[in-house]
Structure 1
């Protein structure tokens, strides 16, 4: 059986067996951290989340993540129950309790809360939101940088905004899970999803870029997650004289790309080895490595500003 990798593969760390998890202001040992089966997140996937990384005691691009998180919650009438300073305090409490300062990944999750009956209507969530913070000691597996991810284009698409807007980082991930299952059935690691018009869009878990003749291409952004790392890569390319285009393109251009990579908070920039069994480029990935170095510098600058503040 073919072994599958993902963009979220991490080095094993025994300390994660004993982490403390934040639930609505309290900290619980990992095996005791639970929410109600009546919670709207469990029942319906009714919630929003953010993935963030801790570097030298500071959350990289914290304001960008909070902008997306609060905008998403507001758009679906989900009361966060605190401001971003309150979120920062909850993050600090959890990190300190776990003795975490760097190489840490956080999943911040907010649902509409516990329902009085197991049905859909939002008015049945009457006890306030459920806020959960899971932090793990987490370093992306170094082997991925050499090995790369194998993608398969799949029939499951990223839909139109008026069906379920892909810009929501919501708990409702069935669309992406189906795509991932289709890719796995095709012998790949993850899915390359198209938009409703058949143009290359994103993967089931990350944003997607290709490099052709020194130019960096990504989708228009109309149907993909408004990724923080995606936006940083586009900004870094523009600031450093690297031609970058948000445009429609097809699998034709993706197959014959010189390089391709995925972006996400966890893996930053993860190279793509193949698409539908077709090797991408020669494996040199020089521009991908340059962009990865620029991104590391951007994190360092962001942390320096926070430390100075």
Structure 2
């Protein structure tokens, strides 16, 4: 899997923030009347802790609050107050590095199980789960296998893929199909059959020294994706946000996926086709992927936000 990691025994005793209260893992619960449980009515972010700070925190919070506005949900905290709550949770756990955070905000408690937001009777539910999680280096070295699934990314007038919502059933179905095919993750197409993204990461190919990714209409506005595009432009690597087909993918020199959890991960095969030329040292990442991965790690360190 793209999100492979080694179990860390420290995670058994972490404190989780539930509406500002720090509680042990086994006591971290929300109501069965919570909007997130009943309907998947909420938004979330994944955050990476690097060298005592949170990488690209401002960009993540901007995306979270934009999503809240799109679904007409009041988070109930300012960005500064929410950031302070995240840092409080990290401090309570003594966490400074090698940590992945899941920040979840739902519309809150309902008086009855029904979709109308007007039956919500409480403030938003805010949960912060920090865990010691480092991406598997063995998986990154071996590369991942992708399988193109029949589940499509929806158009903005159906369910806008820009929303990082709790309602991820289309991605889950894609993930299931890929897993049944023996792959690590699903490659998903847009309604016209052009390559869009993966079920939990963003997809890139390299052809003739150029880096290609989708036009972005049918995928989440990825923070890592945006930073990779930025790094390409800053380091004079030609990058194109464009529509392309599976034929372009099968004939690519390299391919990789991006995400907050693991950064850049090389792709070994897509639909059984080996991407590029297999290396002698067993590391499936091609030269462009390796260069961008190193640049991204450095950028994440430099742009980690620490508590003021």
Give TM class, smaller chain.
over 0.9
Q: 1:168 aligns with which of 157, 163, 168?
A: 163
Q: 1:68 aligns with which of 63, 72, 88?
A: 63
- Report what 1:245 is aligned to: 240
**Distance in 2 between residues matched to 1:19 and 1:205, nearest whole Å:** 25
- Report what 1:299 is aligned to: 300
- 1:268 matched to 2:269: no
TM-score (norm 2): 0.96
Conserved? CA contact 2:15–2:25, under 8 Å: yes
What pairs up with 1:164-203 in 2 under 5 angstroms? 164-203=159-198
- Report what 2:74 is aligned to: 79
Aligned residues: 302
Q: Partner of 1:164: helix, strand, or coil?
A: coil
Report Cα offsets for 1:185-244 as digits up to 9, x if no partner.
222111000001100010000110000110100000011010000000000001101000
Q: Partner of 2:145: helix, strand, or coil?
A: strand
Higher mean alpha-carbon deviation, 220-229 vs 183-192, is at 183-192
- 1:258 matched to 2:245: no
Moved over 6 A (4+): none
Q: Which 5+ residue runs of structure 1 have no aligned equivalent?
A: 1-5
Q: Partner of 1:262: helix, strand, or coil?
A: strand
Q: Partner of 1:101: helix, strand, or coil?
A: coil
- Report what 1:10 is aligned to: 5
- Report what 1:133 is aligned to: 128
Q: Partner of 2:158: helix, strand, or coil?
A: helix
- The 3 A distance-change label for structure 1 pair 269 and 213 is same
Report Cα offsets for 1:41-78 as digits up to 9, x if no partner.
00100000000011122110111101101011011111
Conserved? CA contact 2:52–2:306, under 8 Å: no
Report Cα offsets for 1:124-167 as digits up to 9, x if no partner.
11111100000001111111121111100010000100100011
Q: Which 5+ residue runs of structure 2 have no aligned equivalent?
A: 280-285
Higher mean alpha-carbon deviation, 91-100 vs 278-287, is at 278-287
Question: CA RMSD for the aligned pairs?
Answer: 1.2
Superposition deviation, residue 308 in structure 1: 11
- Report what 2:283 is aligned to: none
Conserved? CA contact 2:51–2:301, under 8 Å: no
Q: 1:210 aligns with which of 194, 205, 210?
A: 205
Report Cα offsets for 1:11-36 as digits up to 9, x if no partner.
22100011111000101110111000
**Distance in 1 between residues matched to 2:210 and 2:95, nearest whole Å:** 39
**Distance in 2 between residues matched to 1:272 and 1:253, nearest whole Å:** 14
**Distance in 2 between residues matched to 1:262 and 1:123, nearest whole Å:** 40
Q: Partner of 1:119: helix, strand, or coil?
A: coil
Superposition deviation, residue 307 in structure 1: 5.8
TM-score (norm 1): 0.96
**Distance in 2 between residues matched to 1:51 and 1:189, nearest whole Å:** 20
